[in-house]
Structure formats: C-alpha cells, structure tokens
Amino acid sequence: MPELPDLTLYLEALSARIRGRKLDRVRIVNPFVLRTAVPPIGDAEGRQVQHLRRIGKRIVIALEGERFLVLHLMIAGRLRWLERKQKPPGRITLATFEFDSGTLAFTEAGTKRRASLHFVGDAAVLASFDAGGLEIEKADLPAFADRLKRENHTLKRALTDPRLFAGIGNAYSDEILHRARLSPIVHTAKLDGAAIERLYAATRAVLDEWVERLRKQASGAFPEKVTAFRPEMAVHGRYGKPCPVCGAPVQRIVYAENECNYCARCQTNGVVLADRALSRLLHKSWPRSIDELT
C-alpha cells in the first residue's frame, strides 16, 4: 500500500500537471471503484482543480464549487500519467480523468477490488474521511508521545493505526522500528521517555529521508515504480538477508496478509520472535535466539 513518502510524490507530480487545469472528462471503467452516487460523477466535469492534498492515505483532488475527488489506492491501486492520446493500461484501469495536459489513470492490479473513488459535494463530508491520525511532520515530541500513549498497543500496531498516526503502513513502520532499535511487539505502555524520543526521531528521519530519496529517483517525472519493497530498505521485505547495521539475517512475523520484518540483534536483544505458523509447525525446533540461526 502506498504510504506517506509515495503519496507525497504523487501529490507533487499531480500538482505540477493538473493544478489550475479543467477536468474535461471522467470515465469510470470499472463501476465497482465508484463508491458514491450523489453528486453524480459527471458533475466533476468542467470544473477546475484548485488544489490537492492528502488525508491519511487518501489523495484528495479539490475542484471548484466545493467538489472533491477522493482516491484510496489501498494495496494494489496506483496512479499513472498518460500523455495526450496515450491509451490507458488494459484490464487494470479503474477510471481515467482527462485534462488538456494529459490523462490521469487510476489502476489496480490483481482481482481483489479494494481501491476506491468517492466524489463528495461538501467539506463536512470530506472531513469524515479523516481518521484523526497525527501528521508526523507537524507534530512535536509531546504530541507524538501523547498519541503513542493514548492506547496500549504493540508498537507495530500503534504506528500503523490510522486513528493514531497518518500515512504510516506496514513498510515504513518496519523501517522506523529498525532505525529506533525497538521491538515491533513491545507495548507502548512499557516505553520510557528515552525510547519514545528515539522513536519520534526515527519516525521523522525515516519518512523525511524516503521522501527526498524518492524525489531524487523520480527527477521530476511522474512516479512509476511505486512499491512497498525497495532494495535500499533496511529490513522491510528483506527476510533472510543481512541487516545493514549488524549483518544478522532479517527475521519476520507473518500475520494475515502481511509480514513484519525486523532484526533480532538490533531490535529484540537477539530474541527471535515466534511466528505463529512456523513455530506451531516446528515446535521445539523453533529457534529462540539469533545465535541459533547464525
């Protein structure tokens, strides 16, 4: 799922291409993507784009006359910019938005239709999409600590809870926790002031660094390779590969459709956290420390 750094790049690329432009035509290719009926989507046509913003992991295209297109990419949704007369991708295209400068294609890979488009007609309805998560770039340490301690969850869950923090998902939470040298399963109530300060600094640094890195990679072009798995990442998606800090093999916890990656030596004092599926299968053969694996 695209997270804050990728969404920031999308917004910057879109602002350069459609801000101040008139939306000539909206074409809904897959009816499932459109989750609203009032106002009708045709009412978006002919309106000028006033600004773009992010609400959590949603992209908002604000049109004149208090009309808003709200796009949620979910896991497999992506945006593509097409030059004039360039055809959109085949089966994966959900909707297109045509401007005199080009066409924005909203796509989704796979068969699970999770990505969504809402077209809303007033600011009050738009506000309902805000889960209330704290925007890290605007937060000082006391605000961050207050939000972190609001509920007692594991750090992994707290960082990815949209009611607590905005724009952080599975990938960057792994990177943040590795940078902060904190276990993904430690509970927020057990954190002392030094750990919270370390986590705050790591959160700010990781997100800022990745925004800058993605900007340099894009070099002004529209983002094409938006993915949660990047070779430069420290632990996310790098199960079994060496930690860039200590060289120990990166570990994982698999749950539902996700997995949490971490370094046992850097984050859990050498303890290999139990993966439900594997530890149930291996029983006593399940390694308890990183030294048993190296």
If you search the block for the tokens 């300060």, which residue do you land on?
Answer: 197
Tell me, what's the pLDDT at 288?
52
Regarding whether 51 and 106 lie in a shared domain, the answer is yes
Give the pLDDT of residue 258: 79
Same domain, 270 and 157: yes
Co-location of 78 and 196 in the same domain: no
CB 96 within 8 A of CB 88: yes
Based on the fold, state whether residues 91 and 226 are members of the same structural domain.
no
Last residue of a domain, one of 66, 92, 127: 127
218-232 mean pLDDT: 93
Task: Indicate the pTM of the whole model.
Answer: 0.92
Give the pLDDT confidence score for residue 1 in this predicted structure: 84
Q: Which residues of 33-53 are buried (b: 16+ CB within 10 A; e: fewer)?
A: bbeeeeeebeebeebebeebe
Query: What is the rounded average pLDDT of the residues 164-190?
Result: 96
Regarding whether 141 and 39 lie in a shared domain, the answer is no
- Residues 117, 146: one domain? no
Residue 272 maps to which CATH number? 1.10.8.50
272, pLDDT greater than 70: yes
Q: Which two tokens stand for residue 18?
A: 């459609």
- Whole-number Cα distances in Å, 102 to 45, 61, 81, 87: 15, 16, 7, 11
Indicate if 153 and 80 belong to the same structural domain: no
Mean of the pLDDT values across residues 43-64? 98
At residue 74, the pLDDT reads 95
As to burial, measured by CB atoms within 10 angstroms (0-12 exposed, 13-18 middle, 19+ buried), residue 223 is: buried
pLDDT of residue 254: 85
For residues 10-31, average pLDDT = 97
Provide the domain count of the chain.
2
Amino acid letter, 168: I
The CA-CA-CA angle for residues 184, 190, 191, to 5°, reads: 75
Domain boundary among 68, 98, 127: 127
- The answer for residues whose C-beta is within 8 angstroms of residue 156's C-beta and 6 or more apart is 173, 177, 184, 185, 260
Q: Which domain holds residue 177?
A: 136-292
pLDDT at 30 over 80: yes
Where is the domain boundary, 99, 127, 155?
127
Instruction: Please tell me whether residues 285 and 186 are part of one structural domain.
Output: yes
Query: Which domain CATH number covers 84?
Result: 3.20.190.10
In this prediction, residue 110 carries a pLDDT of 86
Report residue 294's pLDDT band, with 50, 70 and 90 as the boundaries.
Answer: very low
Split at pLDDT 50, 70, 90, the class of 167 is very high
Distances (CA, A) of 279 to 50, 60, 174: 53, 43, 21
At 3, the amino acid letter reads E
Q: What pLDDT does 85 receive? A: 82
Confidence of residue 283 (pLDDT cuts 50, 70, 90): very low
Same domain, 143 and 74: no
Is residue 275's pLDDT more than 70?
Answer: no
pLDDT at res. 33: 97
Percent of the chain residues past pLDDT 90, beyond the cut: 85
